[in-house]
Every structure is written in C-alpha cells, then in structure tokens.
Amino acid sequence: MTVTTPAQETAPRVSRGALAQSVVDSLVVARRNLIRMIRIPEMVIFGLVQPIMFVVLFTYVFGGSIKVGDTISPQAYREFLMAGIFAQTVTFATAGAGAGIADDMHKGLIDRFRSLPMARGAVLTGRTLADLVQTALTLVVLAGVALIVGWRTHENIGKVLLGFLLLLLLGYAFSWIGALIGLIVRTPEAATSGGLIWLFPLTFISNAFVDANQMPAFLRHIAEWNPFSATVQACRVLFGNLPEGFVTPDAWPMQHPILASVIWSVAILVVFRTLAVRKYRSATA
C-alpha cells in the first residue's frame, strides 16, 4: 500500500514549457501524418509522377531547341533545367498541403484536435513538417531520375547539399501558404485549385525553364525579383550548372542569389505562418 505524504499531496505538477509542449505536440501531429502517408503510398507515388514527367518532357522535347547563355547544347539545357524542376516540385507541394488541411477541417478532425490539451499552432506545424519529409523524399527520387537523364553537378558535395537545403526551405515556406489556403476554403478540391492557380505564373514567369535575359523587359524584371527565381539561381550556382556564356542579370537577387533565397524564404515563412496560425485560431474559436 502506497502512503501519500502531505508534501506529495501539495507538490505542484511539473509542466512542460510552452515552447517544449508545442514542439512535442507538433511532432505527434507530424507522426500521425507520416503514418497516414505510409498507409496510403499512392499519395507519394502520384506526387512523383508530375515532376518526373516534367524532367523527361523538358529534357527530350525542348532540349537542344532553347538557348541558354550562348549555347543550345542539349546537355547545357539539361543542367540548366534541373534546378528549375527541383524548385517547381517543392513549391507545387503547396497544393497538397492546402488540400490536406482542408480535408481535415471538412472531416472535423481539427475540432477533435482542438478538444485536446495541445498547442494551437502544433496542428499546422505538424502537418507542414510531414509535408516537408514527403518533399525531401520526392527530391531524392527526382535527383536520381535527373542523374539518369544526364544531369550532373560540378561543385563539391557541401555546395550541392546546401542547394537542396535551400530548396527544402523554400518548399517549407510555401507549405504555409498552402496551409492558409486550406483554412480559408471549404473543400479539399477548392484548396487544390486555389493552391495551383497562382503557382503556374509564379513558376513560369521566372528563370526556371528559360534564360530570363531573353524575356521582354517587363517580364524580365518580374522574373529577376521573383522569390522562386532567387532559389533557382542559387541552386544553379551551388550545383555549378550555369551554362557557358551565361550573363548574370544586374538585379540584386540574381547577383546575390543565395542570400536572396534565404531572405525570401524566411520572410514568406514568417508572414504566412503568422497568418495561418491566426486564421486557425479564429476558425476554431
């Protein structure tokens, strides 16, 4: 028989700090989403189909017909292209993040989370962390496909890994835009459409697929200050994939692409995480 002393009865419970509690709750939610991903592998498989198609189509359909720098070499375009395909892949994951959160809202799962003693922002943070893991796996497979079709890097492994980290940072920042869209719309279908409709002009009015120097002046300025373009340019520098004769634009983000990529990604992350968490709190208040 256990005897409880007066000191034990009056001793206050030791509670986790707010930050530690939020981290633990976020990891629990992330684990839940990763388990769901494993149980529904077609989510990952279908997410791979589109970027692989882009790699193959752009490599073999447009390779040799698009001038980059001062060459139309298929190999030069192949290496020029891959950073754009990688960046497009991580940003297009935005639609999936939005659809997932909208689906949870639609099914009432968010209300069930709300009834638990957990940090409010943990639901969104856990979801976006799980999406980040899926994005990283997609990038690994996509890099393998790129190597098969002839993509090569010409810098040391440290710079190459830094390039992929910048891609993941951009993807994580954009996943919070998807989270906000998922909280605003009413259905997963609307979240998917809303998550893609703005991504197409963002990715195509950029330096992802063509040399921005060849664009009309007004489009070139948009492309040079596009946050997406900064990450693409940073990856090309870090991968050693700038083609021979390529003229770096005078715009500040293109002259300092690594720093610009970090600034843009962190700014997007801070702004949209704040807006998403605020919307989540008001939606479940």
> What distance in Å separates the CA atoms of residue 231 and residue 55, rounded to the nearest whole number?
18
User: Of residues 280 and 118, which shows the higher confidence score?
Assistant: 280
Q: pLDDT, tens digit, for every residue of 30-56? A: 888 788 777 777 777 777 787 888 888
Rg of the Cα atoms in the chain? 22
Of 20-24, 89-93, 206-210, the one with minimum mean pLDDT is 20-24
C-beta atoms surrounding 16 within 10 Å: 11
User: Of residues 85 and 31, which shows the higher confidence score?
Assistant: 85
pLDDT category, 283, cuts 50, 70, 90?
A: low
Indicate if the pLDDT at residue 15 is higher than 50: no
> Quick one: average pLDDT of 196-218?
89
Indicate if the pLDDT at residue 105 is higher than 90: no
Q: pLDDT, tens digit, for every residue of 155-199? A: 999 999 999 999 999 999 999 998 898 888 878 778 777 778 888
Indicate if the pLDDT at residue 11 is higher than 50: no
- What is the average pLDDT score of the chain? 84
Determine what percent of the chain is predicted with pLDDT higher than 90.
36
Q: What is the pLDDT of residue 50?
A: 79
Spell out the residues 6+ positions from residue 282 whose beta carbon is closer than 8 angstroms to its own: none
Of 86-90, 106-110, 155-159, 227-231, the one with minimum mean pLDDT is 106-110
Indicate if the pLDDT at residue 9 is higher than 70: no
Determine what percent of the chain is predicted with pLDDT higher than 70.
89
Cβ-contact 208, 232 below 8 angstroms = yes
Phi, psi of 68 (to 5 degrees): -130, 130
> Quick one: average pLDDT of 26-30?
82
> What distance in Å separates the CA atoms of residue 78 and residue 145, rounded to the nearest whole number?
12
> Quick one: average pLDDT of 197-217?
90
Q: What is the pLDDT of residue 173?
A: 95
> What distance in Å separates the CA atoms of residue 184 and residue 98, rounded to the nearest whole number?
9
Tokens of 257: 């692409």
Q: Which residue has the tokens 């702004």?
A: 271
To the nearest 10 degrees (0 to 180), the angle between helices 122-148 and 257-283 is: 140
Tokens of 61: 């359909």
Q: pLDDT, tens digit, for every residue of 111-170? A: 676 666 677 678 888 888 988 998 998 899 999 999 998 899 999 999 999 999 999 999
Indicate if the pLDDT at residue 206 is higher than 80: yes
Can you say how many angstroms the Cα of residue 79 is from the centroid of all Cα atoms in its chain?
21
SS (H, E, C) the chain: CCCCCHHHHHCCCCCCCHHHHHHHHHHHHHHHHHHHHHHCCHHHHHHHHHHHHHHHHHHHHHCCCCCECCECCHHHHHHHHHHHHHHHHHHHHHHHHHHHHHHHHHHCHHHHHHCCCCCCCHHHHHHHHHHHHHHHHHHHHHHHHHHHCCCCCCCCHHHHHHHHHHHHHHHHHHHHHHHHHHHHCCCHHHHHHHHHHCHHHHHHCCCCCCCHHHCCHHHHHHHHCCHHHHHHHHHHHHHCCCCCCCCCCCCHHHHCHHHHHHHHHHHHHHHHHHHHHHHHHHHCC
Q: What is the pLDDT of residue 5?
A: 47
Longest dimension (CA), the chain: 86
> What distance in Å separates the CA atoms of residue 216 and residue 219, rounded to the nearest whole number?
6
188: amino acid identity, one letter: P
Q: pLDDT, tens digit, for every residue of 235-274? A: 999 999 998 888 899 999 999 999 999 999 999 999 999 9
Strand-pair partners of 68? 71
